[in-house]
Amino acid sequence: MPVIAVIGAQWGDEGKGKVVDLLAQKAGVVARFSGGDNAGHTVINPHGEFRLHLIPSGIFSPRTVCIIGNGVVINPAVLLDEIDQLNQCGVNTSNLFISDRAHLIMPYHTLLDGLEEESRAGKALGTTRKGIGPAFTDKAARLGIRTGDLLDKEAFLEQLRFALDYKNTILTKIYGASPLSLDEVYAQYCQYGERLAAHIRETDIMVEEALNRGELVILEGAQGTLLDPDFGTYPYTTSSSPLASGGCLGAGISPTKISRILGVFKAYCTRVGSGPIPTELKDETGDLIRERAHEYGTTTGRPRRCGWFDGVAARFSTRINGFTGVAVTRLDVLDILPRLKICVGYKLNEKTIDYFPSRVSTLEKCQPIYEELEGWQTPISDIRQYEQLPPQARQYIARLEELTSCPVNLISVGAERGQTIMRHDIL
Ligand code: IMP
């Protein structure tokens, strides 16, 4: 059985949750490998409607082991809340395991995320303020505290004392904020540790064992390629790698084991937070897409900026990840539009370019070059066979295939699990 990585190919919110929920029914393991509760994966299935921030979208498949890998930063309060909510809906979470190497989001991380954003004033990144950046900063600075550390309370106290001393100096001296109490944070996190202890494991070993048993392993991406700190629109990015290669590191799996990489694209583009989006529609078409698709952030509720499909960014995303196939989501959102545009190049200083610039200042100068296609102007949400799609919709998909040089394996025509057209076997 293969290892398949399901990767956000744009700026996040592409519908990875739905795709993973669908594929997970055949999987032995689903592992999240990056980000934290900045993610919001919407899943609508026979159990109900869920917005998962940390727990892998495979949790609804009863025989699937769900792993929050070492590459994720975990806010234990959010995780416990999510476990409780799922349990209340009758979803079993005893198959959920957390890497002992995954770093914790501490109260000072969330505080600092907000304070740092405010201090940037007009240059704010538009983060989710969930403490993601500060937690990954501490991981790199070797000041982080990991889930496994909660299992040794004495050692944890010393780690926390050291970190909190430092963080309280920053909170009080740089930002004029109140210090955090060691006793309170310690007591709170010891409680979290007690509740999470049964879930904390060396999860990389569990992944290896599943592979040895010949089971399908799904690496569930969070955020999207263009938010990658190296290859995204830096500094308007997140702090961990949403790329397929990030999947190896964040789940503890060798690159040689990954056999399929599925890039998930929306049929158009969206972005939440600051930073450039070359094909952004600041007009009524953008508003129409936002309202029709309810494009508001799952985690923060912020309106998402909407734009036409960007073929230049898509090609870049395909190259940097090595997609072997593509899933196109929300195609039905375009049902009502008489004409559709796809960006096939950028105009930069009177020249045509076909690459995605590495610098934001350059990207901001790029004007999209569009190709126009006819819309289909008929509802497609009830269609399950590719051949039954209107010819204009098939033409649209064919153009995306040409631009990405990748087969479109799956097309999503609605939010529910069943509203899916499976074209080729992904596995
Ligand atoms: P952070 O990850 O909270 O630090 O936010 C950094 C940037 O990534 C901001 O522009 C966020 O809006 C964006 N971002 C983070 N997570 C997601 C996501 O799951 N979907 C879409 N955008 C995200």
CA 139, 300, 178, 104: dihedral to nearest 10 degrees? -30
Residue nearest (by alpha carbon) to ligand 1 atom 9? 127
Q: Which amino acid is at 31?
A: A
* Backbone φ and ψ of 253, nearest 5°: -135, 145
**Whether the model pTM is above 0.95:** yes
Helix (H/G/I), strand (E/B), else coil: 31 = strand
Q: How many angstroms does the Cα of residue 43 sit away from the middle of ligand 1?
A: 19
Tell me if 223 CB under 6 Å of ligand 1. yes
Nearest residue to 41 (alpha-carbon basis) of 225, 221, 260: 221
Nearest residue to 51 (alpha-carbon basis) of 89, 23, 24: 89
Report the b/e string of 74-85 with b at 16+ CB within 10 A: bbbbbbeebbee
* Backbone φ and ψ of 136, nearest 5°: -70, -30
pLDDT at 424: 77
Mean pLDDT, range 137-144, rounded to an integer = 98
Q: How many angstroms does the Cα of residue 196 sit away from the middle of ligand 1?
A: 26
Mean pLDDT, range 160-182, rounded to an integer = 98
- Residue 367 burial (CB < 10 Å; 0-12/13-18/19+)? exposed
Helix (H/G/I), strand (E/B), else coil: 120 = coil
* Backbone φ and ψ of 330, nearest 5°: 60, 30
Tell me if 39 CB under 6 Å of ligand 1. yes
Residue nearest (by alpha carbon) to ligand 1 atom 1? 127
Mean pLDDT, range 268-297, rounded to an integer = 96
Q: How many angstroms does the Cα of residue 21 sit away from the middle of ligand 1?
A: 22
Residues ≥6 apart with Cβ < 8 Å to 146:
100, 101, 102, 103, 104
Q: How far apart are CA 209 and CA 336, in angstroms?
A: 48
Of 238, 271, 360, which is best to mutate to test ligand 1, by the most ligand atoms within 8 angstroms of its C-beta?
238
41 tagged catalytic = yes
Condensed to tens digits (0 to 9), the pLDDT of residues 103-135 reads 999 999 999 999 999 999 889 999 999 999 999
Question: Cβ distance 326 to 399 under 8 Å?
Answer: no
Q: How many angstroms does the Cα of residue 106 sit away from the middle of ligand 1?
A: 18
Condensed to tens digits (0 to 9), the pLDDT of residues 284-323 reads 999 999 999 999 998 889 999 999 999 999 999 999 999 9
Closest-lying ligand 1 atom to the alpha carbon of residue 127: 5
Q: How far apart are CA 282 and CA 275, in angstroms?
A: 14
Maximal CA-CA distance, the chain: 66
Condensed to tens digits (0 to 9), the pLDDT of residues 387-400 reads 999 999 999 999 99
Q: How many angstroms does the Cα of residue 325 sit away from the middle of ligand 1?
A: 25
pLDDT at 9: 98
Question: Cβ distance 71 to 328 under 8 Å?
Answer: no
Helix (H/G/I), strand (E/B), else coil: 289 = helix
Condensed to tens digits (0 to 9), the pLDDT of residues 393-420 reads 999 999 999 999 999 999 999 999 999 9
Catalytic residue among 41, 53, 109, 199: 41
Residue 311: C-alpha distances to residues 168, 174, 227, 316 (Å): 47, 44, 17, 9
Residue 331 binned pLDDT confidence (cut-offs 50, 70, 90): very high
Q: Indicate the DSSP class of residue 367.
A: E
Q: Where are the alpha helices (DSSP H) in 252-305?
A: 284-292
Q: How many angstroms does the Cα of residue 15 sit away from the middle of ligand 1?
A: 15
Closest-lying ligand 1 atom to the alpha carbon of residue 130: 3
Tell me if 126 CB under 6 Å of ligand 1. yes
Tell me if 233 CB under 6 Å of ligand 1. no
Q: Indicate the DSSP class of residue 152.
A: S
Residue nearest (by alpha carbon) to ligand 1 atom 16? 38
Tell me if 238 CB under 6 Å of ligand 1. yes
Tell me if 277 CB under 6 Å of ligand 1. no
